[in-house]
Chains A and B, each alone.
Chain A
Amino acid sequence: MLIDTLKYISQLLPVLASVFFILSLRGLSSAATSRKGNIFGMLGISISILVPLCYCFCVLFLRQIIPNNINDFYGSLFFGLTIAALSFGGGIGYDIAKKINMTALPQLVAAFHSLVGLSAVFIACAIFSAPNLFALFNTSDQPIPLSNAIEMAIGAAIGAITFTGSIVAFGKLQGFISGKPLKYKGQHKLNFLVALLIIISSIIFVNKQTAILFAIIIFASFALGYLLIMPIGGADMPVIVSMLNSYSGWAAAGIGFTLDNNVLIIVGALVGTSGAILSNIMCKGMNRSLKNVILGGMGVETSLTNDSGNIQRNVKICSPEDAAFIIKNAESIILIPGYGMAVSQAQHAIKELSELLKNEKISIKYAIHPVAGRMPGHMNVLLAEANIPYEDAFEMDEINHEFGSCDVAIVIGANDITNPAAKTDPASPIYGMPVLEVERAKTVLFIKRSLGSGYAGVDNPLFYQGNTMMVLGDAKKVVEGLIKALKEN
């Protein structure tokens, strides 16, 4: 009777966990409910972890109090190891997340994705090494059933691709792998061959389940993850990071299918679609298809001849003092942050500047382009970190019509997302990309490190526009210069 009740509860709890996971994503629909959402997520995962741990503990405990001949050495040992791994891993995760600087957020998220991928691989290995323990069948000399074997191969392959892909993305974001796209001849052919190898070995694997074939699937997938992400430029990372997020979900779903575990399937589907939606939003923000991003293409700096042609055109360069004068006489200002702000960690200086201007009764708004920065929502997090009110940040569609009536638009470390050529010049590589209509502001202040082109290697006509002033230098230093000049006046 008691056993039956317990069994019933242990089947019900995962249902509850699934509901919590859905609620945790639902909570993010507004900042007000988001923290509650996060707590739902934690509850969901705690339930999921506690159910098998309690089961294991109860079995070990019962075997202790009921006299028997069972040697529980392995059981106790691995129960202890599991708890140790859980607490040790948890401690490391806590430490990393607590200490990480918010500007390093994109690479941390990429690193976390790689962990999901790698653990999916280890779990697939565990299932493969002892399928009977996972109730895939009863006697150990039977092969794994066809459908479970397919699902296992898919889960392992996606996990492995996620792992190496995320490691490369991490390296590119962290800067120890060059952010420039790596291209070589026959790249697509090689990728195709590796993918073919994975598919063929998976097909053979389903019929003939040998460890070698399983290893081939995993190692070929490791190679494919590396080969797929290596050619992609640093600035396409918002798409890649969300795509890998999606993959980590599909990997979990693959494991769930293998074991007919509903919670894993539900969570995998939630995470997978979430990542897919984010990739889609990012792709739209760049007016590129996912295929186009994955197959590479952009991110190559234009040749020198193009640059020297630009320099002859008229660029107005001004000092922070001049810029401060212009700002002071404005009534409404829109700030456009970009990756440059993240690199120089200018968000706190920007906050100080905006406080200063607000005291002068100048209206300050922030225009956030969907692909500004290196991951979805990157700019919003940095602004939030600097305590800039959430209500002051506007999405592209909300604010684009306001540029016409705004006195000064200050572009801080952004370039391509403001390029009017995307609307007017069909020959431009970024033609069709939705951009912030900065050029309609009365004055445009461009805070930029140099006059070079952005990641897309596209010249920005905005630099040469009559009402544009360039302030060259590191975003943080320039903003600090502006603050100093404003205070002196």
Chain B
Amino acid sequence: MFAIETLIIFILSCFVGYYVVLKVTPALHAPLMAVTNAISSVIIVVAIDAAAISSLRLESSVVATSCFGVVAVFLTAINIVGGFMLTHRMLLMFSKKKKDNGESKC
């Protein structure tokens, strides 16, 4: 039944999120969106549960569940790799300049 602990975790995480994200410089808001998009795909763990682990239970009735799971794994995998890759590309652009600057100063 309803676990009060999960609610506490949720609310505390909201506070952590609030204070952490407030510190993010506005210049990096676009990478922030890309990386949050990637990490929100952590729901892939449930998708893997549905796709692979549920079929270990040896019930043929779980085929539908596993199929839903496989589709969800596919969608979230696009998101995870795409999101991190995109963030990486953006951040590379931001730090590349730093290096250039350093060289020009030398």
Binding site for B on A (CB under 8 A): 17, 21-22, 24-26, 28-32, 34-35, 37-38, 41-42, 44-45, 48-49, 51-53, 55-56, 59-60, 70-72, 74-75, 77-79, 81-82, 85-94, 96-98, 100, 102, 105, 108-109, 112-113, 115-116, 118-120, 122-123, 125-127, 129-130, 133-134, 145-147, 241-242, 245, 248-249, 251-253, 255-257, 259-275, 277-278, 281, 368, 370, 375-378, 380-381, 384-385, 387-391, 393, 395
Contacts and interface: CB of A to CB of B under 8 A. Distances in A.
Contact of B40 (A42, A85, A271): A271
Nearest to B42: A267
Contacts of A116: 37, 40-41, 43, 76, 79
A380 B21 contact: no
Contacts, number: 400
A96 B82 contact: yes
B27 A393 contact: yes
A42 B84 contact: yes
Nearest to B16: A22
Contact of A375 (B22, B33, B75): B33
Interface residues of B, number: 91
Q: Interface centre among A88, A109, A145, by most B CB within 10 Å?
A: A109
B90 A384 contact: yes
A44 B42 CA distance: 9
A37 B3 CA distance: 32
Given A28-B28, A122-B72, A245 B45 contact: no
A25 B36 contact: yes
Given A82-B70, A116-B40, A126-B72, A376 B29 contact: yes
Interface class of chain B by DSSP: helix
A246 B51 CA distance: 26
A271 B39 contact: yes
B85 A126 contact: no
B67 to A, nearest CB: 8
B59 to A, nearest CB: 8
Contacts of A48: 42, 44-45
Interface string B32-74: 1111111111111111111111111110111111101111111
A184 B41 CA distance: 36
A130 B20 contact: no
A127 B14 contact: no
Nearest to B57: A133
Q: Interface centre among B3, B43, B47, B95, by most A CB within 10 Å?
A: B43
B6 A29 contact: no
